[in-house]
Amino acid sequence: MLLQTIARTRSIVSKVSTVKHTDLAGRFDVFTYTGAAGTRAYRLYVPSGGTGRALPLVVMLHGGSQDAASFAAATGMNDLAERQSFLVAYPEQPSSANPGRFWNWFAPGHQLRDAGEPSLIAGITREVMDRHPVAATQVYVAGFSAGGAMAAVMAAVYPDLYAAVGVHSGVAYGVAQDAASALAAMKRGPSRPARSPSGAVPLIVFHGDRDSTVAHANAEGLIDQILAAGSPGDAPAPVEATTGGQVPGGHAYTRTSYGGATGTVLAERWTVHRSGHGWSGGVLRGSYTDPRGPSASAEFIRFFDEHPAGTLAGLTVPGPARGSDPQPSRLARTIRWLRQVRTRCVGPPPVERGAGTG
């Protein structure tokens, strides 16, 4: 089915817009979780009208120098949660654990199941699941920069907890063992492939190809790692389907989907052209955002929605973004998608100064 889809998707440019920010009616409260490895505060967004029924849960991990509140504001994820009814948890790294508030994804003690920071993030996830009705097959983890690297760790060591993972401007699991190797990987990409300790967890990656903080080569490293985990032994090479597009007045982008001949999609890679180290499609002047890119928040949620746990084998190359379309109707989104015509991607406009790319 995927092979049949490639010809169609290559002739279609997906239409992506930035997240629309609204006045929120849900709750955004602060909590504290304590486990064997320590204590972490976290914020939880509960959408209005979300009580009493099982909702998906997205765990969002901030980058360095950010906190839960600034990351939530920058990404606009709570806006999407309110519109599409899911919970969002934001674990927070204190300066006592890292002076720059970075998650310690590069330290061996924080790359293990039931140890260090992964145990605390997993503990927060389970606490939210215990306190609120959560759809157990729709629990996801995502992050930016150091938070993206830690999201990759969480997917690697807790594949039974998270159904899919989103990594924005991050690095693959296990490519660093200390601060020096972490900086080397960030600047040049992984020096060697690192195998995930578990099977493949569906992955969506966003990365700017002008990122001078975390090299764009790390996006390829993330994809290589997940494809290796998803194609063991003599399995055939994954099939790729590539589309391109451009945000009106903003950046051009390329999306590549990776899957098998049976129609499964294991990963997506979004390259945002001429974008630096910032959350694509984030709010103007937000903490490390590039509002001129396609909405990473909307695309993460669309990908997650298509990848509940246990259904990987039945998935196909995805259509337009669920969260990118301001119209909530699935029918309207489908009609708009089918009406798009063959478009040749043109070069992006010059980078606008003061866009808040961080």
The amino acid present at 221, given as its one-letter code, is G
Q: Where does residue 25 rank: exposed (0-12), middle (13-18), buried (19+ CB within 10 A)?
A: exposed
Contact of 257 with 263, CB cutoff 8 Å: no
Contact of 80 with 298, CB cutoff 8 Å: yes
- Give the integer Cα–Cα distance in Å for 68 and 72: 6
Question: What is the full DSSP assignment across 127-167?
Answer: HHHHHS-EEEEEEEEEEETHHHHHHHHHHHH-TTT-SEEEE
The 10 Å Cβ neighbour count of residue 323 is: 29
- Give the integer Cα–Cα distance in Å for 284 and 356: 6
- Give the integer Cα–Cα distance in Å for 212 and 45: 32
Q: Output the CA angle 188-189-195, nearest 5 degrees.
A: 155
Tokens of 237: 């090479």
Q: Where does residue 17 rank: exposed (0-12), middle (13-18), buried (19+ CB within 10 A)?
A: middle
Tokens of 114: 């039931």
> What order do you get walking across the sheet with 87-91 strand by strand?
27-35, 38-46, 87-91, 55-61, 134-144, 164-168, 203-208, 265-272, 252-259, 239-246
Q: Which helix (H) or strand (E) holds 86?
A: none
Of 46, 24, 3, 21, the residue nearest 133 (C-alpha): 46
The amino acid present at 56, given as its one-letter code, is P
Quick check: is 145 catalytic? yes
Annotated catalytic residue within 145, 196, 257, 287: 145
Catalytic residue list: 145
